[in-house]
Amino acid sequence: MTDVLRTQGDDEEIRAAIAEAQRRLPEFRRVVEEDSHRILPVYPAFVKVCVDSEAAGAFEHVWLEGVFFDGTEVGGQVVTPVGGDPQLKGGAKVVASATQISDWMYYEGEVLRGAFVERILMRRAGIEE
């Protein structure tokens, strides 16, 4: 089970990291789209989107894998399920506006790219990369 880390909406460091993820979104989109044309993907990619969870009664940030872009939308399958929300169970397909992206990451070999918010949360939890 994944630990849930809560942050406040007024957390300036997190808000700045989300802004950086949005600013650099074209870089991530290019990597995902180039990789989608390969028989075997080279860059495992994940995107975190902010969605409204009726079951949780709050907005939740969930990681998706199998990332794809379609116009102004992004989608994939839920990696981090939200307990009790059937719309956000593991493996569920989610499609959201690209404006709802709060983080993204991919691996280039052994190097982690992106993960702007995730790096902050790991540091605060005392987890080394």
pLDDT in tens, 58-114: 788 899 999 999 999 999 999 977 766 777 788 889 999 999 999 999 988 889 999
Q: Which residues neighbour 43 within 8 Å (Cβ) at sequence distance 6 or greater?
A: 31, 32, 35, 106, 107, 108
**Could you tell me whether strands 58-70 and 73-78 are parallel, antiparallel, or unpaired per DSSP bridges?**
antiparallel
The closest of 32, 106, 114 to 70, measured between CA atoms, is: 32
* pLDDT, position 29: 96
Residue 115 confidence (pLDDT) above 80: yes
Residue 11 has pLDDT above 60, yes or no: yes
pLDDT at 64: 95
Instruction: Tell me the domain boundaries of the chain.
Output: 12-122
Residue 3 pLDDT > 70: no
Question: For residue 4, what pLDDT band results from cuts at 50, 70 and 90?
Answer: very low
Position 20 pLDDT exceeds 60: yes
Provide the H-helix boundaries in the chain: 12-23, 25-35, 116-124
Nearest alpha-carbon partner for 61 in 17, 107, 12, 124: 17
Longest dimension (CA), the chain: 43
Structural Rg of the chain based on CA atoms: 14
Residue 45 has pLDDT above 80, yes or no: yes
Q: Taking Cα atoms as reference points, which of 88, 108, 114 lies closest to residue 23?
A: 114
Give the model's pLDDT for residue 56.
Answer: 64
Is the pLDDT score of 2 beyond 60?
Answer: no
Does 37 or 94 have the greater pLDDT score?
94
Residue 17 pLDDT exceeds 70: yes
